[in-house]
Amino acid sequence: MKTTITSESKVPELRLDVESGGNAERRAKLLPLGAMMMAGLLGAADASAAEEQTLPTVTVKANADQQPDGFRASKTRVGKVVQDPHDVPQAITTITRSLMDEQDANSLKEALRNVSGLSFNAAEGGRSGDNMMLRGFYTFGDIYLDGIRDTAQYNREVFNTEQVDVLRGAAAMLFGRGQAGGVINQVSKTPMLYGINKVSVGVGSDGYMETKADLNQRIGETTAIRLNVMNRDEDSPRSNPVTGTTPEIHRQGFAPSISFGLGTDHEVTLSHLWLQTNDRPDYGVPFNSVAKKPETNYAKSNAYWGVSGQFDESETNVTTLNYLFKISPDTQWRTVVRGANYRRSYWAGAPQNGAPSTNGGGAKTREFDTDNFVLQSDFNTVFNLFGMKNELVTGVEYLKEGSKRWALQNLGTTANPVYKSGHYTSSAPNTYSGDTYSAYVQDTVEFVRDWKLTVGVRRDEMRSEYQSPSGTGSINYRGDFGENSYRTGLSWQPSAAQHYYVGWSDSFSPTADLYQLSGSQYPAERSKVSEIGAKWLLLDGNLAFRTALYHAVKNWERNTDLESTASILTKKRESNGIELELAGRMTENWEVFSGLSLIDAEINEVAPTTGNANFVGKMPRNTPKQTFNVWSTYQLPAGFKVGGGMEYKSKRYGGAPTGTAAFNPNWVPSYTRWDAMLSYDQPKYAVKLSVQNIFDKLYYDAIYDNGGFTYVGQPRRVILSTEYKF
């Protein structure tokens, strides 16, 4: 007899199936309520065993609260179907809501500090929003929201995020064009039939104040609404030593959603995300041109180089309609339609050699207006063919992208510049438009008991146009790309607690992707990634441990500043590494999340006319050889909990000279940041004290592509927050 607990549409559901064998039997974990119900059902089954040889499936639905994941995620859709990350034949890191809450991680960037092998870039080509490196490769084109591309340039918040999945390695077969490092997928909160309502207020040092609310209400038998709101203000201890100006953050968000048919065969969810930012941007500090490391020659070694008039304003609107049709227990059809608009305007001061001044140094100005429309439809089913179990996933997608980019006009003087949103130079805007048509199919076949072979292929047809002010408005570039992407893997799961796999996948990124021209008309970047890994569930499934060894090769790579339209730095590069990760409960009261990444990356070849031959054999920029992170909490008596952790990154190279100059790059030193928290949690309320960067370490966590400057990491910050639950 097999007993399983399943959860569909976030409605706790108890199912009793009579069959033998299977890994699920060894993995089943029952809620206390489910255990009592199971005992009764089993007793009834034993009493009637003489009369009936088999029992039909019994389904019992309840509205009891579903316990959220701790540090170990129990499900993900990053593989196009809902499954346990343990069963995905590829390295995956999942940052849960619990982990983000305990760390007071309020932005996507802060949440991603938990991902080993990941580092941050700084404003390449005007890309001053979220911009990361993973396994030594760019990922700014690989950010997704609920499985749909979310590549516009803005700073993402996590107030409406349930978890963040990082699928490592090439993933173009599942997601379309992208890089070799991996995919970062944000999973939004959605309505549930059981009530969760939380309101919180946090205050902290340097003008920190944040209010949040997560409100969920059932309004019918199968209908529920949910509303998440956020408002946050931050000042900074960094200031301009000449003017006294400090960088600031002012952000607010609003995310309503409604779901119909929860727990039925037809579920419909309509949601909207609105996010507004009004910051005074901080572009960090310059490099010392002689020492080749961050500038520390001023009274305040972390002095702010901006001025009061500078701004970073953005407004993001994303509307999504999601329809899920459960055709049978093993067959689902899911269709998503999304329209999104991203507007952003900013004036920032790029730090220059010399002391901070009253005019903010070199002006960086941009204004963007980006519109995306997506139609995505996926179908998955399970069937037997020739005695072998098949798990088929197939789908189609249409993506329409349009973007305009302006340079702002100086309304002041050269000595005292003034820029404002909506005031452009006389030049026509740069424009980008693209249409992408995609189809994919993947099948996983259990050809021998406990052995599965996964094979998938995707076809992307992309038609794009890029137009710049030069050329009197003519089209400067038209790209027609048709590319195949593949994914294959072999898995052996001798028990529910063990998974050993070997996999291969590839990806591509075409010229003029991401709404601007990145090099001349070169062939699409192509990446190939091989990976061997193992995953274990320990301590009755409460603790997950994984390791992966990978080899990634990328050809025709364009990794200079994307604003440059005439250079390609490295024609071929590779990255080899090993990763280890631990997530879950060591004991009933002790939780831990930790990751280690060791990377050996190298530039193999440069373009013969535009690259610097002295780069060959060198380590690529912003690729730390070692990264390590750990966060751990312990539940004390009477509702108290204590926790803490650290983040370590080794030395990283910044930009290096082009042409024929010797390899003598800027670099930032290694760093270790320590954090801690203490909380008191009761059924109706909670109080928490967090200290970020306990020792006030001056460190640099992001590097500008060509090495002109580097971002300063979070100074010490103390946050006291309260939460009311009802």
User: Domains in the chain, please, with CATH?
Assistant: 1-67 (no CATH), 188-344+361-417+429-725 (2.40.170.20)
pLDDT band at 44 (very low <50, low <70, confident <90, very high): very low
> Do residues 461 and 436 make contact, with C-beta atoms less than 8 angstroms apart?
yes
> Of the spans 41-45, 192-196, 713-717, which averages the highest pLDDT?
713-717
Of 306, 296, 291, nearest in space to 123 by CA: 306
Task: Using CB atoms within 10 Å of the CB of residue 333, give its burial: 0 to 12 exposed, 13 to 18 middle, 19+ buried.
Answer: middle
- Predicted local confidence at residue 128, as pLDDT: 65
Pairing relation of β-strands 311-328 and 331-350? antiparallel
Residue 658 has pLDDT above 80, yes or no: no
Using DSSP, state whether 593 is helix, strand or coil: strand
- Predicted local confidence at residue 454, as pLDDT: 97
Residue 551 has pLDDT above 80, yes or no: yes
- Predicted local confidence at residue 8, as pLDDT: 39
Sign for the pseudo-dihedral over CA of 159, 160, 162, 165 = negative
pLDDT band at 36 (very low <50, low <70, confident <90, very high): very low
Question: What's the rounded Cα separation, in Å, for the pair 117 and 125?
Answer: 23
Question: pLDDT digit string (tens) for 70-86?
Answer: 999 999 999 899 999 99
- Predicted local confidence at residue 491, as pLDDT: 98
> Do residues 94 and 165 make contact, with C-beta atoms less than 8 angstroms apart?
yes
Question: What's the rounded Cα separation, in Å, for the pair 593 and 595?
Answer: 7
- Predicted local confidence at residue 48, as pLDDT: 37
- Predicted local confidence at residue 570, as pLDDT: 66
Question: What's the rounded Cα separation, in Å, for the pair 170 and 176?
Answer: 10
% pLDDT > 90, the chain: 65
- Predicted local confidence at residue 682, as pLDDT: 96
Q: Compute CA distances 206 → 211, 282, 381, 716, whole Å.
A: 16, 15, 53, 10
- Predicted local confidence at residue 560, as pLDDT: 52
Q: How many CB atoms lie within 10 A of CB 43?
A: 10
Concatenating the DSSP letter of every residue in 345-376 gives EEEEEE--SS---SS-SEEEEEEEEEEEEEEE
Question: pLDDT digit string (tens) for 469-487?
Answer: 765 555 677 888 899 999 9
- Predicted local confidence at residue 22, as pLDDT: 40
428, two tokens = 């026509």
- Predicted local confidence at residue 509, as pLDDT: 85
Region of poorest pLDDT, from 392-396, 566-570, 598-602, 706-710: 566-570
> Do residues 159 and 255 make contact, with C-beta atoms less than 8 angstroms apart?
yes
- Predicted local confidence at residue 353, as pLDDT: 77
Three-state SS letters, 472-516: CCCCCEEEEEEEEEEEEEEEEEEECCEEEEEEEEEEEECCCHHHC
613, two tokens = 């031959």
pLDDT top residue among 272 and 123: 272
Adjacent-strand bridge partners of 435: 400, 463
> Do residues 196 and 127 make contact, with C-beta atoms less than 8 angstroms apart?
no
129, two tokens = 């929003």
